[in-house]
Chains A and B, each alone.
Chain A
């Protein structure tokens, strides 16, 4: 299949890839460092190219609820924002998870808390994988570490969202969103017709035909037993996701004595740190997480039988390390190293942390 090669920003690449993936609608609100997403979509006129709806909402709150409405009617719909805006969307995300609607949400993370900074960060890990909004729910969380993966993962994200009727979060950051790299783009996939949506998604509110049951999109169950049964159903789905969808990539782990655990931009830094450590005679490797939920617990468990220590590298003050330590379960040393508040660790700092916190620690 012919694949088109372009030089693009991460934010532009994901916008173009979403059009080509056959997305029906995008609802968003500008915020740095991800405004290029809606700017690109508006400039590209996908409503003329493919019929895709693009609308700038009055707020992130409204945008995510527009997503709820379109998703409830069976459309492939997405939104994007950055950290403070993602916080605003949490109410809607909880409703979407509760009502089991498929959609894709992009977070191009910036430093926080509060208004924070516009520089890149990975401090939204807890918000992404532990819930974010209210209630017992999980998002499928994909973490791209290149412009190419911004384009690739949005295609996967729509497939996963519809496979499990669950919101999928693409957890990116200001580096991946803003930097330019070459990217191979897929050919345009046709959008589903309204008739195809009706046939494929019996749950979608597309208008009740006479003699059929009405469809209701809701997250409400006033009776405790009903709500508990719904929660048990959701937990079964999350267990199925954990069993089937764990994704990661390993770099020089075969003979490694020490492993960096990282995702997104930090994984790019760690790749260089592996080379640097090996030039100093330290057998280092990298476990790069692609899915943050489901978390690769089994693979980390397996590696504890091989390596002497793990360094979780994250642009936060230490969030992912909690899941790494749970998976390590005390068998080997596992520590966190991070720069945060908009700063990015250098490979030198990472190798130094490995030497002082893990090898010499």
Chain B
């Protein structure tokens, strides 16, 4: 059988979503951002809402998310994505609006915007990629850096007496009445990717039903910032990040 006999529409089992551009991803090999981008865009495509969605990109490694996500996008100042999304959604309540933010963006400089958007129950979806470090600026300590974890600004390990404790934003926003669905997932194995995609799908379905803020954390790696190989980084994430940031749904609609 020749290749041309095999490559036919009826035999097609998988293809890249049209909601990802052909631009080459700027992320390091092994990074979870590419997968997180793809499953978010796949959800929009499968729900048929790509034309009605406006995304908000943060400051950080995913600042260029608008180069890869083939939908209308706005790039927000560091930490301000939930406020930018609020401005869009309040003016277009029938559109879908989401933010895509890292841990420095969402859990440090944007803490106020995150908590207040969630507390108002803004009808938006927040995708929060947590790799416990500032990736783009070169591996500095993040609010989510684990106790004892090394970074360029905690070179001897995070000393919680001096530097404070890691902040569990996801548990925090789950306490707020404005959130309807809060979940923590990962994207480093096919099984985890399927679960994470399911959570993102539920988040957008609830946005469609105007159920308030939906929030999906993706615990991810940063092999460059952690100074590990991609395989080592995934193993380290499972052994160290997951016990501190346990995966699963934290808040589901009643």
Binding site for B on A (CB under 8 A): 24-25, 27, 53, 55, 57-59, 61-63, 65-73, 75, 77, 91-92, 95, 99, 194, 205-210, 214-220
Contact = CB atoms under 8 A, between A and B. Distances in A.
A210 B19 CA distance: 10
Interface stretch (B83-91, B155-163, B186-194, B224-232): B83-91
Contacts of B70: 208, 214
Given A62-B80, A217-B73, A210 B116 contact: no
Nearest to A72: B74
Nearest to B94: A194
A218 B90 contact: no
A216 B73 contact: yes
B92 interface: yes
Contacts of B50: 208
Nearest to A205: B72
Interface in B96-116: 112-113, 116
B53 to A, nearest CB: 7
Contacts of B76: 65, 68-69
Nearest to A194: B92
A214 B72 contact: yes
3 closest Cβ pairs, A-B complex: A69-B87, A66-B87, A65-B83
Contacts of A58: 112-113, 116
Contact of B80 (A61, A71, A210): A61
Given A55-B86, A220-B63, A220-B64, 19 more contacts: A57-B83, A61-B112, A62-B116, A66-B83, A66-B87, A69-B56, A70-B90, A73-B54, A73-B74, A73-B87, A77-B87, A92-B77, A194-B92, A206-B72, A207-B71, A209-B51, A214-B72, A215-B72, A216-B72
A27 B64 CA distance: 27
A41 B243 CA distance: 49
A138 B83 CA distance: 24
Interface string B28-53: 00000000000000000000001111
A292 B251 CA distance: 53
A59 B113 CA distance: 9
A92 B110 CA distance: 13
A103 B88 CA distance: 14
Contacts of A53: 90-91
B128 to A, nearest CB: 18
Contacts of A220: 63-64, 75
Contacts of A71: 87
B51 A72 contact: no
A205 B55 CA distance: 9
Contacts of A68: 74, 76-77, 80, 83-84, 87
A70 B76 CA distance: 12
Contact of B86 (A59, A66, A215): A66
Nearest to B95: A207
A119 B188 CA distance: 58
Given A214-B72, A218-B75, A220-B75, A205 B88 contact: yes
A25 B87 contact: yes
B87 A217 contact: no
A95 B112 CA distance: 19
Contacts of B73: 205, 214-218
B88 A72 contact: yes
A216 B75 contact: yes
Contacts of B52: 207
Contacts of B66: 214, 216, 218
B87 A70 contact: yes
B84 A65 contact: yes
Nearest to B81: A65
A180 to B, nearest CB: 32
Nearest to A92: B77
Contacts of A215: 72-73
Residue of B54, B63, B91, B113 ringed by the most chain A CB atoms within 10 A: B91
A67 B51 contact: no
B218 to A, nearest CB: 23
Given A73-B88, A219-B75, A207 B54 contact: yes
A73 B83 CA distance: 14
B190 to A, nearest CB: 29
Contacts of A62: 80, 83, 86, 112-113, 116
Nearest to A51: B91
A218 B86 CA distance: 17
Contacts of B90: 25, 53, 55, 66, 70
Given A70-B87, A208-B72, A214-B72, A65 B92 contact: no
A206 B92 contact: yes
